Structure formats: structure tokens, C-alpha cells
Structure 1
Amino acid sequence: MDNLQAVFIDRDGTIGGTGHFIHPRDFTPYPFTEEALKLLKAYGIRTFACTNQHRISKGEAGLEDFVNEFKIFGFEDAFICPHGSSEGCECRKPSPGLLREAAEKHRLDLTKTAFIGDVGSTDMLAADAVGAKKILVLTGWGEGSLTQYRHKWADIEPDYIAENLLDAVKWLLHK
């Protein structure tokens, strides 16, 4: 894709896991995740993790645990909301606060970015709010996002529905 500055990627259900919380020490990426991230790097596209992790506010994991995990996976930076849904922060997806923070920190034009995630009602809404490309993966909560939870983001159409992260990356690179 011409002028693609960066790709934001959700964690749980997108790069690995089940969609449910798994502590970084126990988290396993999907078999195709490493290849997907390497492909983006080979094309010179910056990668940023973007995830809600309210268990941090409950003391079940530390912010550093996630930051270190994302560094190991090869992400350039990580944007993590540690708050619960009732805390009213600006950073918890579907609010686009994390994306705006990344744009400011890394001088990005968010309309030249893409967001890959498995939850329509958070990932796709956050991406839509800033004009980023929206790619929904069918791993994690992806299938449910398109069926029983579709009403929560009915006004938004993903730009692409991908089998998984690798499919999403290949679509982006050949668009």
C-alpha cells in the first residue's frame, strides 16, 4: 500500500492467545505472527502494538510485562490502556486515545495507517475514528464480532476481513 506509515496491531486474539487475558509470561503468539511482523519490517512499515489491558489496573500484570513482551515480538512501540471500562479514560479502545498518542509521539498521519484487530466494537471503532484502514481478523473474537456482536459496530465496514494476521498483512502489502 502506498504511503502506509504504520500498522497498529491488537494483542489478544490477533497476534496470539484466545481473546481472553493471558499474562505475558504465558502468552504464545500464533505460528504465523512472526512471519507477518517480519514481512511488515521487510517493507519498512512500522509496527505498534495497541491493546486494552485492564488487568494491569487490577494488579494482575505490570505495564512493563507487556512492554517487554512487545519488544521481544519485534514491535517498535506499544500503546497500552491499563484502565477498566468504568474508569472513563481517553485511551481505552474504542476511544482513539492510544492512536492519537502514537501519532503525536511518532509523527504519524493516522489516515496513512492501518489497524489490525479481532474486535469490531473496539479495534474497528478506534480505527474508524481516526480514518485508519480497518482490518478485522477472524481469529480470537473476530467471528463473533461479525455475527452476534455485529450490532455493536453496525455503522462501520471493515476495509478487509482477514483469516488471520498474516492474511491481513499480505492484503495490506499488495493493496
Structure 2
Amino acid sequence: MGVIEAVFIDRDGTIGGVEDKVIYPNEMIIFPEVEESIKRLKEKGLLILSFTNQPGISRGEANRDDFEVELKSIGFDRIYLCPHEHNTGCNCRKPLPGMLLQAANENDLDLRKCVVIGDRWTDLVSAQEAGCIKILVQTGAGKKDLKKYEDGQYFGKYREAYPDYMATNIKDAAQCFLNHCKEPS
């Protein structure tokens, strides 16, 4: 895998929550292995960044500050968050790579030396567009999205964004760095 500078981790379905429901801060149940996994990655000197779509902010259903407090409390160094609705034309909403590009600019990162961990194909497409290493976790929508891919439901850039590695959960993904990941079979 080479030298890694930073790890971008999706929120909903990757670090907590359920498959198809956004859960706002103070209601989110973080998976038990998340904080320890983030701690272990940080011990390796990695910058740990959240990147998440949260359109509930633009609808007035949630507050950006609450997301930042929640994510920083479990160990994230910086938060990259798209508050926009679908189809608003922003450049930050996944599957676009805007959040990754912003983070690279602000933190002097080579995105080819960064990893994206997520449970949705939009996470993988964003990573692919930015040149990042892609890890799909099987929590949240991970299994469902992998099945869609295998069933031929993704086309174009979605078809091209196959994960570089697959992991059962965030702990397995973090362990991947510590044990030098194996290619997906």
C-alpha cells in the first residue's frame, strides 16, 4: 500500500448507524470498534478526516456544529462535510471529489497517498475521481452496494470505482493498514 498520509472516513453506515437512514448527532450509536480503530491509525501518524454528505443541515434538520463536535469527540482531526441537498450543483457532494480536493489543498496532501473508507459506492466514486485508495466496509449499505455492483446495476464511473480493498468493518479496515492489506479476491 505504500506510505499513507491521511485516511478519510465516511460517517453514516461506516462508523455507526444503519443501512439507509441518516441519524443525526446525539442519536448516532457509534460502532464499538470505531474509537479504538481511529486511535490506532493516529498512532501511526495518520491524519484522520471525516467526509460526509449531510443535507439535513440545509433543510434545517441538523446543525453543522453538532456533527463537528460528535466527530471530533471520537478522534477525527478534521471534518469535511457537504451540507447541500441532492442536485444543488455544489462541487462538494459525494460522489464528486470536492471534499477530498479541499482537504488535500488545506492539508498539503497527495491524494494518491490517501485512503477513503466508506460503505457506499458514492464514497468509492469520490475516491476514484480524486485518485485515492478505496476501501469498502460491509457495514451500513456496504453489502447492498456491493451486490448492486455484482448485479451490473452500476455504469460509467460507478462501474470503474471497484474497491481496492474490502473490509468487514472499520476495525478490519484499520487493521488493513497495520498488516498491509491484501488485494480483494
TM-score of the pair, normalised by structure 1: 0.96
Matches within 5 A, 1:61-72: 61-72=62-73
Residue 83 (structure 1) aligns with: 84
1:136 CA displacement: 0.2
Matched, 1:50 2:55: no
Structure 2 stretches of 5 or more lacking a match? 181-185
Q: Which runs of 4+ in 1 moved over 4 A?
A: none
Matched, 1:99 2:104: no
Residue 159 (structure 1) aligns with: 164
Matches within 5 A, 1:91-130: 91-120=92-121, 122-130=122-130
1:130 CA displacement: 1.1
Compute the RMSD of aligned alpha carbons: 1.1
* Residue 170 of structure 1, aligned match among 171, 175, 179: 175
Q: Show CA shifts across 1:139-174 (max 9, x none).
A: 000001111355232222211110001101111232
Which has the larger helix fraction?
Answer: 1
The letter of the residue matching 1:99 is L
1:84 CA displacement: 0.7
Distance, in Å, in 1 between the alignment partners of 2:36 and 2:17 is: 17
Structure 1 stretches of 5 or more lacking a match? none
Residue 183 (structure 2) aligns with: none
Q: Show CA shifts across 1:6-38 (max 9, x none).
A: 000000000011142111011111011111101
- Paired positions, count: 174
1:3 CA displacement: 1.7
